[in-house]
Amino acid sequence: MRRKLVAGNWKMNGSLSMADMLISELLPSLVSHQTVQRIDVMLCPPAPYLYSLARQLAGSGVKVGGQTLSEHAAGAFTGEISAQMLCDVGASAVLVGHSERRALFGETNACVAEKFAAAQRQGLLPVLCVGETLQEREADRTWPVVQEQLDAVVSRCGEQAFAAAVIAYEPVWAIGTGVTATPAQAQAVHAQIRAYLRSLDAGSADGVVLLYGGSVKADNAAALFGCPDIDGGLIGGASLEAGQFLAICDAAAGYAD
Ligand code: PGA
């Protein structure tokens, strides 16, 4: 019913030649294994590489997304990138509120909600990232933290906000650490998110794609993606290695038949 999605977040890594090389390794395999017919695949490169990547991937079925965007439409905001600009260069989605943006660039829940709204206004699919720190988990605050992150978007965009969005649950303690949430830990939060979505908008909740992110690798992807409310992954480090990323896509495609 829900299509699996595997999204690669390259963060601030690579170069133009690395991007070209990665695509030349990924594309033939994604096409010959018919992966793109069975699941959605998306790549989120650094902004300067978006245009060239989108052109190379045009017609392949692989989607391209931004890593962040401005909440503003246009104007004197030096260094910022608008939703319209992302669309212009071929992006169809954008990450919003990644934990690194929240922790390192001061993005508050309210600011993330504005960015989410800006993406949707432009017809970009927002991939809203939520998740708790280790300290919050240990204090038994995982759900209140995640709910607050979701609620900020709901109060800005309404109870149907997630009907045209993806949510990525990414426990901060699992991002880039090599420590992955167990399938049971991840599924528990995903189920809470789904139940919460149902309470907001029963009509759309079962169709919302919920990704898990945080040290997803080729050897743990299948167990995570086999959980009933985990619809794929947001992949950081492992998306920079063609073999790893392809194996993760194959793990998701294994549940598509
Ligand atoms: P990681 O990153 O896979 O390297 O843990 C995930 C993310 O930040 O989205």
- Give mean pLDDT, residues 76-102: 98
Q: Residue 257 has what pLDDT?
A: 64
More confident residue, 223 or 1: 223
| Nearest protein CA to atom 2 of ligand 1, as residue | 236
Pocket of ligand 1 (CB under 6 A): 9, 170, 175-176, 213-216, 234-238
Q: Residue 1 has what pLDDT?
A: 78
List, for residues 194-228, the tens digit of each pLDDT value: 999 999 999 999 999 999 999 999 999 999 999 99
User: What's the chain's average pLDDT?
Assistant: 97
- Give mean pLDDT, residues 46-68: 97
| Nearest protein CA to atom 7 of ligand 1, as residue | 236
Residues labelled catalytic: 98, 170
β-strand pairing of 5-9 with 93-96: unpaired
Q: Residue 17 has what pLDDT?
A: 96
- Give mean pLDDT, residues 151-172: 98
Ligand 1 centroid vs 203 CA: distance in angstroms? 31
- Give mean pLDDT, residues 98-108: 98
Pocket test for ligand 1, best of 104, 216, 240, 241 (most atoms within 8 A of CB): 216
| Model pTM score | 0.97
Instruction: Give the chain as a 3 state SS string.
Output: CCCCEEEEECCCCCCHHHHHHHHHHHHHHHHHCCHHHHCEEEEECCHHHHHHHHHHHCCCCCEEEECCCCCCCCCCCCCCCCHHHHHHCCCCEEEECCHHHHHHCCCCHHHHHHHHHHHHHCCCEEEEEECCCHHHHHCCCHHHHHHHHHHHHHHHHCCCHHHHCEEEECCHHHCCCCCCCCHHHHHHHHHHHHHHHHHHCHHHHCCCEEEEECCCCCCCHHHHHCCCCCCEEEECHHHHCHHHHHHHHHHHHCCCC
| Nearest protein CA to atom 3 of ligand 1, as residue | 236
Q: Residue 230 has what pLDDT?
A: 98
- Give mean pLDDT, residues 113-142: 98
Ligand 1 centroid vs 186 CA: distance in angstroms? 14
